[in-house]
Structure 1
Amino acid sequence: MAQKTDSLTLKNGDKIIGEIKEMTKGVLTIETDYSDSDFTITWKDIVSINSKHNYLITLSNGTRINSSIVTKPRDSAQVVLNENGKEVLVKIKNIVYVKAVKASFFSRLDASLSLGFNFTKSNALKQLTVRSDFTYTGEKWGFTGGYNSVLSSQDSVADTKRIDANIGAKYFLKHDWYALLSADFLSNDEQKLKLRSTTRAGMGKYLVHSNRTYLTTGGGLAWNNEQYTTPDQSDKNSLEVFVGIGYNMFDFDDISLNTNLVAYPSLTEGGRLRSDFSFDIKYDLPLDFFIMAGFTYNYDNRPVEGASRVDYVIQTTFGWKL
């Protein structure tokens, strides 16, 4: 077992020796030899941090540095980073992300899985909800993915389903800009969609990037392909512009909030407008468990004949994060 030599000093004078794993969303995680569970400490409560290990560090202005991290002697407001052999002084409040850089794939992976189930005796209504996501963070690249589904069945009514999935990549640039490439997939009985595949390419920027909130926006082009459950309706392709905004709030006790809105005005179908909106609130429990409530809304002002313009789903799940 590797020796744990990283040290933290807190505002109350406590000192912790261990192995720093990461700091994300304003909370630092450190593993120690004297506890079965990792310690989580609010970043703003740390007055001194010292580690000779190598970390991927992100600053509030978007700069990404691979470095050890040591508090400047006699100045706890600043830390000394070592970028390519050159020492750089950084205010500790400007550090928004720290991740131990290791060779293993799983050391850079964050993932979660949550489930929900409802049953009503009167009409034998059964509903199963599954939500999952993963994030992989590299030095210049970030990868994300997710899978969500709602499957419902009840007496004398046809089963219904709603499945969406996504996968995406970001290439981080200077000054909190990034290039993005992603694909979204939706199967939705309410809108008679056997499968909608939307491939997006564009640019984005973090407008706010702190230890309490992220605010990001982006835009570009999207290619939309739709296959319908209606037998006599042929597949449809369209070129669209997309414009989106996302807001992530955290470090408010054990509550975090994440919301996203993306609009898709079509370039090849005059007057058509689609939009996707999501709102999730999560409450963290001990041992990396959590409960989550989410609301997802899809709008299309020109759906296929017989389909609804809108569809929405409300989900409540219990889950665990890696």
Structure 2
Amino acid sequence: MNTKKTFSFFILIFTCFQLFAQTDKIYTRAGDVLVGEFKSMQKAVLVFDTDYADKEFQIDWTEIDGLEIGNSIIYTSDGIRYYGGLKPMLDKGRLVRVIAKDQEIIMPLDDIVQITSIKVNLKERIIISLDAGFSLTKANSVRQTSAQGKASYTGDKWRFNANFSNVGTVQKDVDPTDRTEGGFTITRDIYRNAMIMGGSEFLSNSEQMLDLRSTGRLGVGYYIIRNSRIYFQAGAGLALSREHYGGDNPTKANSFEGLGLAEFNAYNLSDFSFMAQMYTYPSFTDWGRWRVNADISLKYDLPLDFYIKLSYIHNFDSNPLIDVSKNDYVFKSSIGWEWD
């Protein structure tokens, strides 16, 4: 009898703890109410965990009518960061009450661009994507393979992004070509929509006889547009490049350069997302020389975290150190998988 009472007591305690933990509520525009644990909201996708589902819910931000969540960091389109919770205002139409320290603000859900639960651990702040592609042309016996990987971490004020890609081409009676590039960027928010950025990138391209170009950069940036659907940021800074060309007459050089950058990202297009990014490097060492790196991609999400992607990458150099083409570009299609 005592054993049964003890067992019942522990069941009651466990149930109370579960009910206490499941205090967050999500109200959808379809009239559903989800009770569970809020994880995050970024790029117009809300992540929510419940005990009655095998995996976390991912809900389009436009389908949310209200939230009731606890300690979180709330980022708004004008760059303000609030530490507190949210209460719904269901009779007002997509309005919420932000309850922060010593203040209470009413705002539209569309003014909120990101929410991070203070309870979210390191693993849940990381996103990793991998994709690969293959093409074969019988007429001229051309085989092309591509592989790409990306990783990102989003913290309260810090962000980290890294990428790596390789494209190889093999053709009968022609020397194979190989193009490899990658890099990383670290960003620190400093005031509202302003940030400081540092990072590095590298490029190796056998077709242009470029054994390696590595570039370190440091600058400041600003979100010109940032909402729950899109963001556009621009920035400026300084860079230092080291180049090593091969061929019959190997050439090495260092270049002190300026830095201009622009990035546009649209992620509330149903299952599509679009990204366009450009880095511009005007040289101070070799006056009149410009380098431009552009990357454009369109991604379509598939079930089970798979996706297909079309990408276009273009590199321009107005005055290469040796006699090679000023332009180099890659167009590729690939299928991939994302872990978040």
Whether 2:293 is the aligned partner of 1:243: answer no
Write out aligned runs for 1:106-255 (5 A). 106-255=123-272
Work out the CA distance in 1 between the residues paired with 2:223 and 2:178. 35
Total equivalences in the alignment:
320
Work out the CA distance in 2 between the residues paired with 1:126 and 1:136. 35
For the 8 Å contact 2:81–2:192, the answer to whether it is kept is no
Which AA in structure 1 matches 2:201? D
Work out the CA distance in 2 between the residues paired with 1:288 and 1:310. 35
Which AA in structure 2 matches 1:300? D
Which AA in structure 2 matches 1:178? M
Stretch of structure 1 that moved more, 160-169 or 66-75: 66-75
Percent pairwise identity: 32
1:255 offset after TM fit, Å? Answer: 0.8
Which AA in structure 1 matches 2:105? L
Which AA in structure 1 matches 2:223? Y
Work out the CA distance in 1 between the residues paired with 2:202 and 2:104. 43
- Give the aligned partner of residue 7 of structure 2: none
- Give the aligned partner of residue 11 of structure 1: 29
- Give the aligned partner of residue 88 of structure 1: 104
Work out the CA distance in 1 between the residues paired with 2:96 and 2:276. 33
| Structure 1 residues without counterparts, runs of 5 or longer | none
Stretch of structure 1 that moved more, 123-132 or 110-119: 123-132
The structure whose residues are more often helix, as a share, is 2
- Give the aligned partner of residue 30 of structure 1: 48
1:180 offset after TM fit, Å? Answer: 0.6
- Give the aligned partner of residue 40 of structure 1: 58
Instruction: Give TM-score scaled by structure 2 length.
Output: 0.88
For the 8 Å contact 2:312–2:332, the answer to whether it is kept is yes
1:266 offset after TM fit, Å? Answer: 0.8
The residue matched to 2:192 in structure 1 has which SS?
helix
For the 8 Å contact 2:148–2:164, the answer to whether it is kept is yes
For the 8 Å contact 1:80–1:87, the answer to whether it is kept is no
For the 8 Å contact 1:49–1:70, the answer to whether it is kept is yes
For the 8 Å contact 1:101–1:108, the answer to whether it is kept is no
The residue matched to 1:173 in structure 2 has which SS?
strand
- Give the aligned partner of residue 312 of structure 2: 295
Which AA in structure 2 matches 1:247? F
- Give the aligned partner of residue 329 of structure 2: 312
1:134 offset after TM fit, Å? Answer: 1.3
- Give the aligned partner of residue 258 of structure 1: 275
What's the CA shift string for 1:47-95, capped at 9, x where partnerless? Answer: 221122x333211111233433322586554434444x43431412211
Work out the CA distance in 2 between the residues paired with 1:101 and 1:285. 30
